[in-house]
Amino acid sequence: NCTSVTNGTMCIDLIKLKKNCKCELTLKLPKKFTRVLRMYYKIDNMYQNHRIYAESFDFYQQIGFKPSQAASTTCGALAQYKGQIIDPCGLVPNSLFNDTFTFWNGNSEIPLMTDWIISKTARKIFKNPEGSSLEDIFRDTEKPPNWPKPIYQLDINNS
């Protein structure tokens, strides 16, 4: 229920048109926090537990194997794009979460921790391929269609 700061349109209506939306929400905290504060929120109408969705990814890509020359059989329609292998492929990677947050206390921006935000278990399982630079490794692949930029530009610090 957020409206665009640009034109007052409901963000949900802009998102349906595949347009970006910047909105502002005021959150009031009941007390002062001196330790790490984590923010969680709910996304409506996103069903990531559907079997077809949940099975649409390539496990070997996720654990750090270098891109293959053959299209994955587990990624369905999102295995290739523009004649190139999509890496990472499938519905799961294609739904990359891309909300961006900035928090303020009055006129002072509150710094956010953006590294190591996944669990230790997930860090042990999911990896980038090793060897050359990520740009070199993924040179002959295509990014998932819904991603704003290629994989090698997403986490340059591998954190």
Over the stretch 17-45, which tens digit does the pLDDT of each residue have?
A: 888 889 888 888 888 888 877 777 777 77
CB 58 within 8 A of CB 85: no
For 110-136, the pLDDT digits (tens) are: 888 777 777 888 888 888 888 888 899
Prediction pTM value: 0.70
Token code pair at residue 4: 């665009």
Domains in the chain: boundaries: 1-26, 50-153
The number of C-alpha atoms within 13 Å of 8 and in the hemisphere containing its C-beta is: 0
Handedness of CA 93, 99, 105, 107 (dihedral sign): positive
CA–CA separation, 91 and 114 (whole Å): 24
